[in-house]
Amino acid sequence: MHYLPRIVVLLMLLVFSNCTTATKKPVTTEAVIERITSEEMVKLMEDQKILVIDVRTPEEFETGYISAAENIDFRNKNFMDSIATLDKSKPVIVYCERGGRSLKCSQIMKEAGFTKIYDLDGGISQWKFDGRDVAVD
Protein backbone atom coordinates (compact mmCIF):
# COMPACT_ATOMS: atom_id res chain seq x y z
CA MET A 1 0.00 0.00 0.00
CA HIS A 2 2.91 2.34 0.66
CA TYR A 3 3.77 2.08 -3.09
CA LEU A 4 0.48 3.64 -4.17
CA PRO A 5 1.55 7.31 -3.71
CA ARG A 6 4.74 6.67 -5.70
CA ILE A 7 2.80 5.05 -8.52
CA VAL A 8 0.36 7.96 -8.64
CA VAL A 9 3.24 10.46 -8.80
CA LEU A 10 4.95 8.50 -11.58
CA LEU A 11 1.74 8.30 -13.60
CA MET A 12 1.20 12.04 -13.20
CA LEU A 13 4.77 12.74 -14.34
CA LEU A 14 4.28 10.57 -17.42
CA VAL A 15 1.01 12.25 -18.32
CA PHE A 16 2.38 15.78 -17.91
CA SER A 17 5.66 15.03 -19.68
CA ASN A 18 3.75 13.62 -22.68
CA CYS A 19 1.61 16.75 -22.83
CA THR A 20 4.59 19.07 -22.96
CA THR A 21 6.54 17.05 -25.51
CA ALA A 22 3.49 16.82 -27.76
CA THR A 23 3.33 20.60 -28.01
CA LYS A 24 7.05 20.86 -28.78
CA LYS A 25 6.94 18.67 -31.86
CA PRO A 26 7.87 20.60 -35.00
CA VAL A 27 5.12 21.23 -37.49
CA THR A 28 5.93 19.69 -40.85
CA THR A 29 4.21 20.78 -44.00
CA GLU A 30 3.80 18.14 -46.62
CA ALA A 31 4.09 19.32 -50.19
CA VAL A 32 0.79 19.20 -52.02
CA ILE A 33 -0.01 18.58 -55.68
CA GLU A 34 -3.48 19.74 -56.62
CA ARG A 35 -5.15 19.14 -59.99
CA ILE A 36 -6.97 22.29 -61.09
CA THR A 37 -9.35 23.30 -63.86
CA SER A 38 -8.66 26.15 -66.27
CA GLU A 39 -11.19 28.26 -64.34
CA GLU A 40 -9.34 27.65 -61.08
CA MET A 41 -6.05 28.47 -62.81
CA VAL A 42 -7.35 31.84 -64.00
CA LYS A 43 -8.47 32.66 -60.46
CA LEU A 44 -5.12 31.62 -58.98
CA MET A 45 -3.25 33.76 -61.51
CA GLU A 46 -5.46 36.76 -60.62
CA ASP A 47 -5.32 36.32 -56.85
CA GLN A 48 -1.65 35.66 -56.14
CA LYS A 49 1.86 35.85 -57.45
CA ILE A 50 2.36 32.41 -58.88
CA LEU A 51 4.89 30.76 -61.16
CA VAL A 52 3.46 29.24 -64.34
CA ILE A 53 5.61 26.54 -65.94
CA ASP A 54 4.97 25.03 -69.38
CA VAL A 55 6.88 21.74 -69.47
CA ARG A 56 6.39 21.05 -73.18
CA THR A 57 9.17 21.19 -75.76
CA PRO A 58 10.20 24.59 -77.16
CA GLU A 59 8.58 23.61 -80.48
CA GLU A 60 5.26 22.91 -78.74
CA PHE A 61 5.59 26.12 -76.72
CA GLU A 62 5.99 28.19 -79.91
CA THR A 63 2.62 26.94 -81.21
CA GLY A 64 0.87 28.70 -78.31
CA TYR A 65 1.23 29.03 -74.55
CA ILE A 66 -0.58 30.46 -71.56
CA SER A 67 0.53 34.04 -70.96
CA ALA A 68 3.02 34.47 -68.10
CA ALA A 69 4.27 30.90 -68.62
CA GLU A 70 7.94 30.05 -68.56
CA ASN A 71 8.99 27.18 -70.81
CA ILE A 72 11.07 24.54 -69.02
CA ASP A 73 11.19 21.44 -71.20
CA PHE A 74 10.57 18.35 -69.07
CA ARG A 75 12.45 16.18 -71.58
CA ASN A 76 15.53 18.40 -71.61
CA LYS A 77 18.60 16.99 -69.84
CA ASN A 78 18.92 20.30 -67.93
CA PHE A 79 15.39 20.14 -66.52
CA MET A 80 16.53 19.54 -62.92
CA ASP A 81 19.05 22.39 -63.12
CA SER A 82 16.34 24.70 -64.48
CA ILE A 83 13.83 24.00 -61.73
CA ALA A 84 16.57 24.28 -59.11
CA THR A 85 16.78 28.02 -59.90
CA LEU A 86 13.10 28.60 -59.03
CA ASP A 87 11.80 29.76 -55.64
CA LYS A 88 10.49 26.55 -54.05
CA SER A 89 8.45 28.43 -51.46
CA LYS A 90 6.22 30.06 -54.11
CA PRO A 91 3.19 28.23 -55.47
CA VAL A 92 3.63 26.95 -59.01
CA ILE A 93 1.24 25.93 -61.77
CA VAL A 94 2.54 23.25 -64.14
CA TYR A 95 1.00 22.27 -67.46
CA CYS A 96 1.81 20.39 -70.66
CA GLU A 97 -0.24 19.36 -73.69
CA ARG A 98 -2.74 17.00 -72.01
CA GLY A 99 -1.57 16.45 -68.43
CA GLY A 100 0.74 13.42 -68.49
CA ARG A 101 4.12 15.16 -68.44
CA SER A 102 2.96 17.83 -66.02
CA LEU A 103 1.85 15.21 -63.51
CA LYS A 104 5.28 13.51 -63.70
CA CYS A 105 6.94 16.91 -63.44
CA SER A 106 4.80 17.81 -60.41
CA GLN A 107 5.98 14.66 -58.62
CA ILE A 108 9.61 15.53 -59.36
CA MET A 109 9.09 19.10 -58.16
CA LYS A 110 7.49 17.81 -54.97
CA GLU A 111 10.53 15.61 -54.34
CA ALA A 112 12.78 18.60 -55.11
CA GLY A 113 11.18 20.58 -52.27
CA PHE A 114 8.44 22.68 -53.87
CA THR A 115 5.68 23.22 -51.33
CA LYS A 116 2.55 23.99 -53.37
CA ILE A 117 2.14 22.62 -56.88
CA TYR A 118 -0.94 23.00 -59.06
CA ASP A 119 -1.28 20.76 -62.12
CA LEU A 120 -3.59 21.96 -64.90
CA ASP A 121 -5.97 19.07 -65.53
CA GLY A 122 -6.09 18.31 -69.26
CA GLY A 123 -3.18 20.64 -70.01
CA ILE A 124 -3.23 23.38 -72.60
CA SER A 125 -5.56 21.25 -74.75
CA GLN A 126 -8.28 21.57 -72.10
CA TRP A 127 -7.39 25.27 -71.64
CA LYS A 128 -8.06 25.88 -75.36
CA PHE A 129 -11.17 23.66 -75.35
CA ASP A 130 -12.53 25.85 -72.54
CA GLY A 131 -12.18 28.84 -74.87
CA ARG A 132 -9.21 30.43 -73.13
CA ASP A 133 -6.64 32.50 -75.00
CA VAL A 134 -3.11 31.41 -75.78
CA ALA A 135 -0.17 33.62 -76.63
CA VAL A 136 1.97 33.11 -79.72
CA ASP A 137 5.29 34.79 -80.42
CB 82 within 8 A of CB 72: yes
Establish whether 19 is a catalytic residue. no
96, 109, 120, 124: the catalytic one is: 96
d(CA 75, CA 48): 29
State the sign of the Cα–Cα–Cα–Cα dihedral 103, 107, 110, 114. negative
Residues with active-site annotation = 96
